[in-house]
Amino acid sequence: MRITELLDINSIDLNPQVSNKEEAINHLVDLLDQSGKLNDKEIYKESVLNREAQSTTGIGDGVAIPHGQSEGVKTAGLSAMVVKEGLDFKSLDGQPTYLFFMIGAPKDSGGAHLQALAQLSTLLMEEDFRNALINASSKEEFLQLIDAKENKKEEVKEIVHPAVLAVTACPTGIAHTFMAAKALEQAGEKLNISIKVETNGQEGVKNQLTQDDIDHCTCIIVAADKKVEMQRFEAKKVIQVPVRDGISKAEELVQKANNGDGEIYHHDTKKEKQNIIRLFYKHLMNGISHALPFLVASGVLYGILYLVKDQVLSNQSLTLINYVQQLITIMIIPIVSAYIADSIADRPAMVSGFAGGLIVCQGISMSSISANSTSLLAGIVAGFLAGFVSLILKKLFSYLPQCLKGIEASLFHPVLSTVIVLFVMIYLNGYLYIAHSYILQYVSLVESQMSTKILFGFVLGMMMAIDNGGPINKTAYVFGIGMLISYDYYPMAAVMAGGMIPPFVIALTATLSKNRFSNRKDALMNYINGISFISEGAIPFIQQESTVILPACCLAAGLAGALSMYFECSITSPHGGLFLIWMVNNPLYYLALIVLSTVVGTLLLFIFTKLKNNVK
């Protein structure tokens, strides 16, 4: 059922004389009664007030949708009014309400009022549409706006084959993935271009593109910083960009894709055409992203065992947990190596990548040098070695007779590539351990002197805020992970503190200055992003005014990293944010430095804004 079928022109008032919530509800009930939808307005009004007593129907963003289902309703209907100066309706966001819709449904109508509520909520999500309704000059225009909006929604639903397809994926599969998907979908709606977006997140592939979708689309946008399944796009036009571009350049990408500006994709040759630095980053992040769940599980289990370390040997259950934690830890480097190799040369390379990683984590070396500790550096080398060996073997095996093609992938390739990688890594492992040792010695030297230790923390924290999930951010993050694997837990705490600051600064700024951001509700959601160590939540707001907001966030994040190192805070998990505060060494100092850095960052933001305005 359409909203325009429920809303009568006689039940609309664009200039009501109401001054509070009670008067607003009374007037909406009267409007509904005037349209002939009620048979007893007092009974209906009682159902509305009962619903309002449970929780406010002021849903925020200047909208309220009071509703009720009772015997007092003859037929389902709507009333609407606009209070241009705003009214305190006790909304969820605490802001004035301008746009009111009241839903009336008969007692025996099932979920009719819920369907109407869902339809209204969907239509009113867009700020431009809400503003158009608020500024409507007549009741006829008010109805026409709703009718046009509903027609547009129906047209989109009727599209069988979207013109543009997209895939979004980031190494952690949490924030960038879904922010890029949302930005691309909104861009498609704004440009009136049909689009379908597949997300490759932590929960797997969602809204997966079908072969039918791919066959009929104009172009495909791949906004990803890790490997996604690309063979399915053979001979189709594809635009490949970092996932950040899916957020910041969504409209540009959707427009280009709709115009068919992508390059024809050929799976065997496409990798050669990409920027070598971006290619390295993408392969590395594919390995790190698959290892993250292992790192988190290992770190959390270690934290639990550390709390009860005196009981581990005497308690059978704790002994078992300790054994499992050690097994998970052993798996980290082989997983990194295997998925780097997989990103380079697909599935045939995984076996040799995994084997090379096992050589690293077991410290096996043919040289006189003993590799007696696990090295992320060596694991990365093993992954790239396995990938490129597999690429070379693929080329060589292409000359095999056709009769041997059937056993190439199942026998020749995995066995030969594994043997080559094993021998090379057994030889290299000792030398890579020397390089790894030098890095650890340098970090230990830095951490031994307080001044350099603080500077080190400041640099790590600032790197986390410079591009919030981009290459610089991920460089600091991967370094922190490398130190975790080497049992140095201090850099990771500095990295995590720095990554939490940008969203906290945005959220606190929105709390103190209600008009600072147009989408204040999303800005306030950054409290959750900050607690969760999802720095990407700050990106849309930083992009609005990067010359002011970015320096404030960077300096504050640097301060958080520096203080974390100064107070010797450490953590054994690479993710989790403040949800894992119980695992942090010196947790009270850690909380205090995050709060202090957030306040400093917010003050800097206000100061920089004022300086910029004075210059203007």
Residues annotated as catalytic are: 67, 170
CA separation for the pair 458, 498 (Å, rounded): 9
Is residue 254 exposed (0-12), middle (13-18) or buried (19+ Cβ within 10 Å)? buried
- DSSP code at position 349: G
CA separation for the pair 238, 220 (Å, rounded): 5
CA distances from 450 to 121, 566, 590 (A): 55, 7, 17
CA separation for the pair 381, 375 (Å, rounded): 10
Q: What is the number of other CB atoms lying within 10 angstroms of the CB of residue 49?
A: 14
Q: HEC profile for 500-516?
A: HHHHHHHHHHHHHCCCC
Q: Which long-range contacts (CB under 8 A, 24 or more apart) does 479-485 make?
A: 480/574, 481/288, 481/295, 481/376, 481/574, 482/376, 482/377, 483/443, 484/295, 484/299, 484/572, 484/574, 485/332, 485/333, 485/374, 485/375, 485/376
CA separation for the pair 163, 233 (Å, rounded): 15
Listed in sequence order, the residues at least 6 apart from 354 whose beta carbon sits closer than 8 Å to its beta carbon are: 334, 335, 337, 338, 341
CA separation for the pair 296, 320 (Å, rounded): 18
DSSP per residue over 512-532, as a string? H-TTS-TTHHHHHTHHHHHHT
CA separation for the pair 29, 38 (Å, rounded): 9
Instruction: Provide the token pair at 66.
Output: 């009071």
Q: What is the number of other CB atoms lying within 10 angstroms of the CB of residue 339?
A: 28
Q: HEC profile for 135-171?
A: CCCCHHHHHHHHHHHHHHHHHHHHCCCCCEEEEEECC
CA separation for the pair 458, 289 (Å, rounded): 25
| C-beta separation of 266 from 234 below 8 A | yes
Listed in sequence order, the residues at least 6 apart from 141 whose beta carbon sits closer than 8 Å to its beta carbon are: none
Helix (H, G, I), strand (E, B) or coil at 452: helix
